[in-house]
Amino acid sequence: MQKRKYLQLAQEVCARIHRFPKPVIAAVNGYALGAGAEMAINADFVLMAQSARIGFPETGIGTFIGGGLTRVLPQLVGLARARELVFLGELIDGNQAKAMGLATAAFPDATFIDDVYAFAERLAARAPLSIALAKDQLNQGSERSYETALVTELEGVLACMMTRDWQEGIDAFAAKRKPVFRGE
């Protein structure tokens, strides 16, 4: 019973990362293995130092993957590559992770922190309500039909048009300036 509760807690952490309405950035600078890798994979963006390592060694130590990995990992890298990563449990570096679609970016070790902050600043400049809506829709996209996606996207655009941020975006575009979004 205690093992189950511990494992459910780990699963819930990954689910919260996945469902969190704001974008989550996993900055991997070192090793992300097992549960750490599972948490990173549930983030919206995995930013890695080039020398960082990520992997899923569970099958080599007689345990199993968690954190929604059986759904999320194949979406990121494809089923064949997901099988390779999980079955063999080999560690890959930032450049390899980027090349296969597991990481969003692999930054040089020397500038890693600055590069992560620059990425986060670019993301933070976007409209928060639009981002939250996009995250929710993208996370559910593979479960929906194309027709349902069209309807939910239409409703999303209409909802955004009712916000102050939408008006700020229009005003900023017309004035040829950068918008300042407030999440309203």
**Tokens representing residue 13 in the block:** 């952490």
Q: What is the dihedral of CA 57, 59, 61, 66, to 10 degrees?
A: 70
Q: Are 34 and 69 in contact (CB under 8 A)?
A: no
Contacts 24+ apart (CB under 8 A), 161-169: 163/127, 163/129, 165/127, 165/128, 165/129, 165/130, 166/127, 169/127
Both tokens assigned to 50: 């080039």
| Three-state DSSP class for residue 32 | strand
Which one, of 50, 49, 59, 52, lies nearest residue 84 by Cα?
Answer: 59
Q: Which residues are designated catalytic?
A: 38, 58
Count of residues making up the chain: 184
